[in-house]
Amino acid sequence: MSYELNARLAARPSPLPTDHGIDPVTADIIRGALETVCFEAATHLGRAASSPIINQSNERNAVIVDAHGRLAMGSIGTPHLTFVSQLTVRYGLMLQQDYDWGPGDVFLGNDPDHGGGHLPDYNVYAPVYDAEGRLVLIQALQAHQGDTGGKDPGGFTLDATDIFTEGLAIPCLKLVHRGEKRRDVINLIERNNRFATFSGDLAAMIGAVQKATERLSALIADWGTDTIWAAINHSIHTSERQMREQVSRWPDGSYSAEVFIDHDTVGTPDVRVNVTCTIDGDQLTVDLTGTDDRKNLVGVWNTFGNTRSYIMTQLAAAIDPGIVKNEGLFNAVNIVVPEGCIAHPPPNKPAALGSFHPACEITEAVCLALSSVVPERSAPQLYKIGMPNAIIGFRDGQMWMDQGVDCRSMDVSAVPGIDGWGSCPASLGNLLLSQAEDFESRYPVLNISRELTIDTGGPGRWRGMPGSLNVKQVLEPTMAMAWMVSARHPLRGMRGGHDASPYSNRFELGSENERLIELRAQAQLPAGAITAYQHGGGAGFEPPHLREPEAVKEDVLDELVSIAAARDIYKVVLTGSLDDYSLAVDRDATALLRGERVAA
């Protein structure tokens, strides 16, 4: 049934039924109004929620879905959430009569087998009707919740073999009926969550969606349903046309790439993701045939909805950023995901860790495949982190969790003309890194250091951003969890650029129990224990010996590249001293080392 349902959820919906004409200016005004409503909903949630995952990291996103289940508008948040929210809503739309949809209702869904991503991503949504009782729009708000009520805190169970181990799966559940909260249902959801702050976070999601539906109702009253529908039809059609125009300018052909995950959570090595991007005129096909389908794999199952989303996240980065991100992009791309592979799993497979891997490998493979087609926009939209060091403890019977989402630098790759910069990959969108000082005030954890690590940015003509070494100390006995990947298969360089540096992780640093986490860990840490997490850097673009020697010198002065790497990898000979900033490029020796002709 899951495969059949996925096919129905992914089927192309028809345009909204209106013959109402609309001019492009009016359509854009309405589109801007919808985007503003999304912005306000996400901002309301960010200010009202108490979890730092939401109110600091901004791991939330608002979208508007039309009455046929099409993505009409999305704004604010992580890009992959933008492209997965509509499938959860579509499942509810299919069963409107069963769930007794009506004005003032609010629903919740998170089930990976019913259009969702993974269980922590709660999707709260509400239908909006016009004065005649016609369903016009659905406002959705998706946010990552700190717990899901499963076997392990946070919903990340390293040895889970089914979805039920990870937590409470909700296909569609009505939280509010005709404006009245269903207290029994909300109490049930709250009871199945370990976080003391969850009730406030859920209330914030409900309130934000209700506020947005008020805005949308006013918009419909001002413009009329047919005008709103005509504007959405116009916007989706325009995005599809513009996307196809972009693709038509790319050279025809098939472009393939394969990327590997080091191992699944029980150590099965080299889990494979294969992507072939085929361009035929204005038609782009992304085919994941050849992706790993071994049935014994554990912890590396990405949901069908997430797979579509991560593919689209990378494609959206490869096109003109002015193209509106809506259902038109999906209409312009044929996505093929074989049933039974890790990107389209059988029913009831665990999905929590799949949102890290293979989700990131899917985007990485799409980026690698298209790097020879559209190199100037080939920025990998991914994070190669296996999972953060989740540090968990209890106070007064309530759980707290440091999910490792505070300040760090990782995975920021270069593109032609621009070195990797910033602390986060572009895939995180407006996702921010929580303040270390705030975490120290909330939890018994000290951030000892957050330092960029020299020589961890992938060398290239354009250099990847270095990764960071994050050292923390726990002040109370706690439990820590980690799944380590991207050590043997770090972020891949493109067009001759070098790969990024690998990830590594040590528990109880400096003690007799110090150990390297090579696969996974779920360990009790004593008070005073120190963990050291080395985040990988970004990858390089084009061969490093093509980098301007003066740029290499500046990298050495900034302590991003060592003098040894400048000579051995970039083939740049430096004279002088780093201590007194007297470094200079020996151009003749550099030219000789690079095998270039020395000018007479």
Using pLDDT thresholds of 50, 70 and 90, give the confidence band for residue 430: low
Q: What is the pLDDT of residue 381?
A: 87
Could you list the residue range(s) of the whole structural domain that residue 434 is in?
385-542
Span 455-514, pLDDT tens digits? 999 999 999 999 999 999 999 999 999 999 999 999 999 999 999 999 999 999 999 999
Q: Is residue 300 part of a domain?
A: no
Average pLDDT value for residue range 395-408:
77
For 326-369, the DSSP string reads SHHHHHTEEEE--TTSTTSPPTT---TGGGTTTHHHHHHHHHHH
Average pLDDT value for residue range 292-306:
95
Low-confidence winner among 139-153, 332-346, 401-415, 536-550 (lowest mean pLDDT) = 401-415
Are residues 565 and 425 both part of a single domain?
Answer: no
Identify whether the C-beta of residue 352 lies closer than 8 Å to the C-beta of residue 157.
yes
Span 325-340, pLDDT tens digits? 999 999 999 999 999 9
Are residues 554 and 537 both part of a single domain?
Answer: no
CA atoms within 13 A on the CB side of 495: 23
Task: Give percent of the chain with pLDDT exceeding 70.
Answer: 97
Helices and strands, counts by H and E, the chain? 17, 22
Q: What is the pLDDT of residue 436?
A: 73
Are residues 28 and 52 both part of a single domain?
Answer: yes
Span 506-525, pLDDT tens digits? 999 999 999 999 999 999 99
Of 94, 196, 208, give the one whose Cα is nearest residue 145.
196
Using pLDDT thresholds of 50, 70 and 90, give the confidence band for residue 597: low
Predicted model pTM: 0.94
Does residue 397 or residue 331 have the better pLDDT?
Answer: 331
Identify whether the C-beta of residue 568 lies closer than 8 Å to the C-beta of residue 462.
no
Last residue of a domain, one of 542, 567, 583: 542
Are residues 187 and 206 both part of a single domain?
Answer: yes
Average pLDDT value for residue range 248-269:
97
Are residues 538 and 554 both part of a single domain?
Answer: no
Q: Is residue 45 part of a domain?
A: yes
Are residues 564 and 527 both part of a single domain?
Answer: no
Span 210-256, pLDDT tens digits? 999 999 999 999 999 999 999 999 999 999 999 999 999 999 999 99
Q: Is the pLDDT of residue 428 over 70?
A: no
Task: Give percent of the chain with pLDDT exceeding 90.
Answer: 80
Q: What is the pLDDT of residue 67?
A: 97
Last residue of a domain, one of 170, 204, 239: 239
Span 347-375, pLDDT tens digits? 999 999 998 999 999 999 999 999 999 99
Q: Give residues with Cβ within 8 angstroms of 284, minimum separation 6.
A: 247, 250, 277, 278, 315, 332, 333, 334
Q: Is residue 394 part of a domain?
A: yes
Using pLDDT thresholds of 50, 70 and 90, give the confidence band for residue 434: low
Does residue 168 or residue 385 have the better pLDDT?
Answer: 168
Are residues 35 and 155 both part of a single domain?
Answer: yes
Containing 451, the helix (H) or strand (E) segment is strand 445-452
Low-confidence winner among 60-64, 74-78, 268-272, 576-580 (lowest mean pLDDT) = 74-78
Are residues 502 and 555 both part of a single domain?
Answer: no
Span 308-322, pLDDT tens digits? 999 999 999 999 999
Count Cβ atoms below 10 Å from residue 148 Cβ, excluding itself. Answer: 27
The sheet that has 283-287: what strands, in order across it? 253-263, 269-280, 283-287, 333-336
Q: Is residue 304 part of a domain?
A: no
Does residue 75 or residue 45 have the better pLDDT?
Answer: 45
Q: What is the pLDDT of residue 398?
A: 79
For residues 88 and 95, what is the distance between their CA atoms, to the nearest angstrom? 12
- The CA-atom distances, in angstroms, between 97 and each of 31, 101, 302 are 29, 7, 30
Q: Give residues with Cβ within 8 angstroms of 167, minimum separation 6.
A: 119, 120, 147, 148, 149, 150, 155, 192
Last residue of a domain, one of 217, 239, 261: 239
Span 121-135, pLDDT tens digits? 999 999 999 999 999
Q: What is the pLDDT of residue 55?
A: 76
- Average pLDDT across the chain, whole number: 92
Are residues 567 and 431 both part of a single domain?
Answer: no
Q: What is the pLDDT of residue 600?
A: 45
Q: What is the pLDDT of residue 75?
A: 75
Q: Is residue 245 part of a domain?
A: no
Q: Is residue 427 part of a domain?
A: yes
Are residues 140 and 188 both part of a single domain?
Answer: yes
Number of structural domains, the chain?
3
Are residues 403 and 526 both part of a single domain?
Answer: yes
Using pLDDT thresholds of 50, 70 and 90, give the confidence band for residue 116: very high
Written as six digits, the tokens of 275 are: 């992507």
Between vectors from CA 391 to CA 437 and to CA 431, what angle results, nearest 5°? 55
Are residues 211 and 62 both part of a single domain?
Answer: yes
Q: Is residue 272 part of a domain?
A: no
